[in-house]
């Protein structure tokens, strides 16, 4: 069974986290090239599951459009929001305090070689965790991420965005789960480039109308990742 190292990076600048992800990803790719299995006794290279949260930042995927960023640069500076165009899939999204960001850095050749399955597995982890809070998360055909079905407003509400990057089957980036962020920041973008009037963004706190214990949530989600991806923690 695969072994995965869990790390909680806490509050970390987006650029710093991106650099650290890259180092871990490069180490896995080098180990693969040298024929070394991650997580084995004596190996210094591991699969990683990283949880963290970022100061206010907008990130734009490689296939996204900057037109989906609606706030002028001077306003971003006033509100201390940064912006990065990055190498993951997907369009534009927001990260900020109160949002749980997860970066699985796995050599998928040790798990399975199927990008579609990888994304569906991440969605499944989130859906199972939400179920523990009495929230019925769903997939929506044609879109990635986890959604809640229409409420009285008639809108589908996105609660978790997913955007990944694979190089030599080693994963980077991951998911952004809205636990209890300031949802007003999503008003500065067209989230994930989805402008349909029947789509909106929500959070766990918004749905339950109460504060959420982030540490408890992280422990639940860690468990579901190990079950869905069938690994053990180091």
What's the confidence (pLDDT) of residue 54? 98
Contact status, residue 81 vs residue 57, Cβ threshold 8 Å: yes
- The catalytic residue among 52, 110, 125, 192 is 192
Q: Domains in the chain, start-ordered, CATH in brackets?
A: 2-233 (3.30.930.10)
> In a 3-state reduction of DSSP, which class is residue 94?
strand
Contact status, residue 130 vs residue 204, Cβ threshold 8 Å: yes
Alpha-helical segments (H) within 55-189: 73-78, 115-131
Query: How is residue 210 written in tokens?
Result: 């109460």
What's the confidence (pLDDT) of residue 184? 93
Is residue 192 annotated as part of the catalytic site, yes or no? yes
Q: How far apart are CA 42 and CA 32, in angstroms?
A: 15
Per-residue pLDDT of 102-128, as tens digits, reads: 999 999 999 999 999 999 999 999 999
Per-residue pLDDT of 68-91, as tens digits, reads: 999 988 888 888 899 999 888 888
Which of 167, 172, 177 has the alpha carbon at shortest distance from 17? 172
Tell me which of 137 and 86 has the higher pLDDT.
Answer: 137
Q: How far apart are CA 94 and CA 101, in angstroms?
A: 11
Identify the band that residue 35 occupies on the pLDDT scale cut at 50, 70 and 90. confident
Q: Work out the burial of residue 176: count CB atoms within 10 Å of its CB; fewer than 13 is exposed, 13-18 middle, 19 or more buried.
A: buried
């Amino acid at each position: 069974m695969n072994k995965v190292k869990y790390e909680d990076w806490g509050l970390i600048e987006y650029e710093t986290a991106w650099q650290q992800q890259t180092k871990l990803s490069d180490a896995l790719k080098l180990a693969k090239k040298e024929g070394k299995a991650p997580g084995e006794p004596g190996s210094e290279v591991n699969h990683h599951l990283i949880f963290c949260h970022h100061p206010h930042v907008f990130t734009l995927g490689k296939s996204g459009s900057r037109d989906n960023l609606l706030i002028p640069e001077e306003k971003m500076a006033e509100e201390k929001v940064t912006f990065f165009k990055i190498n993951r899939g997907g369009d534009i999204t927001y990260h900020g305090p109160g949002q749980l960001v997860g970066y699985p850095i796995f050599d998928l050749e040790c798990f399975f070689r199927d990008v579609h399955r990888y994304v569906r597995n991440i969605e499944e982890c989130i859906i199972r965790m939400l179920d523990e809070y009495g929230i019925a998360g769903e997939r929506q055909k044609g879109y990635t991420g986890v959604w809640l079905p229409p409420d009285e407003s008639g809108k589908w509400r996105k609660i978790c965005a997913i955007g990944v990057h694979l190089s030599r089957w080693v994963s980077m980036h991951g998911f952004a789960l809205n636990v209890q962020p300031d949802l007003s920041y999503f008003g500065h973008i067209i989230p994930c480039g989805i402008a349909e009037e029947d789509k909106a963004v929500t959070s766990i706190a918004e749905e339950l109308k109460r504060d959420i214990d982030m540490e408890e949530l992280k422990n639940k989600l860690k468990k579901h990742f190990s079950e869905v991806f069938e690994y053990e923690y180091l």
